[in-house]
Amino acid sequence: AQSVTQLDSHVSVSEGTPVLLRCNYSSSYSPSLFWYVQHPNKGLQLLLKYTSAATLVKGINGFEAEFKKSETSFHLTKPSAHMSDAAEYFCVVSVGSGYALNFGKGTSLLVTP
């Protein structure tokens, strides 16, 4: 079954420093992978998606992620954190049927001045 594991439940960075949120996936075939962001008391918004095209995926707000099959990883990065990046981030995989998503447990990103 397709699943994802987010390796950190909380990450704290200073404004202007790089962001790294780690995600490993488990899948018996090439998966569709996503990163979603949830700001406090809001719904979820898609940051980026991987669907077996380019392995380096660029998303909104300066975020990007690299699909590494050899490491079964799909880590999310951003060169320079903004205060507005503080939120909950979810790594997500589409289940093989194409009709369900499996969410990681989330990483809470704190950005300090």
Partner 1 sequence: NAGVTQTPKFQVLKTGQSMTLQCAQDMNHEYMSWYRQDPGMGLRLIHYSVGAGITDQGEVPNGYNVSRSTTEDFPLRLLSAAPSQTSVYFCASSLHGTDAYEQYFGPGTRLTVT
* Contacts with partner 1, residue ranges (CB under 8 A): 9, 32, 36, 42-46, 49, 51, 90, 94-95, 98-101, 103-106
Beta-sheet pairing, 73-78 with 56-58: unpaired
Least Å from the CB of residue 99 to partner 1: 5
Q: What's the Cα-to-Cα distance from 42 to each of 30, 31, 53, 84, rounded to whole Å?
A: 31, 27, 30, 14
- For 79, residues 6+ apart whose C-beta sits below 8 A from its C-beta are 18, 62
Least Å from the CB of residue 70 to partner 1: 23
Least Å from the CB of residue 90 to partner 1: 6
Q: What does residue 28 show for φ and ψ, rounded to 5 degrees?
A: -85, -5
Q: Which is nearer to partner 1, 63 or 90 (CB)?
A: 90
Amino acid at 16: G
Q: Which is nearer to partner 1, 98 or 113 (CB)?
A: 98
Q: Which is nearer to partner 1, 52 or 80 (CB)?
A: 52
Whether the Cβ atoms of residue 6 and residue 106 lie closer than 8 Å to each other: yes
Q: Which is nearer to partner 1, 15 or 38 (CB)?
A: 38
Least Å from the CB of residue 40 to partner 1: 12
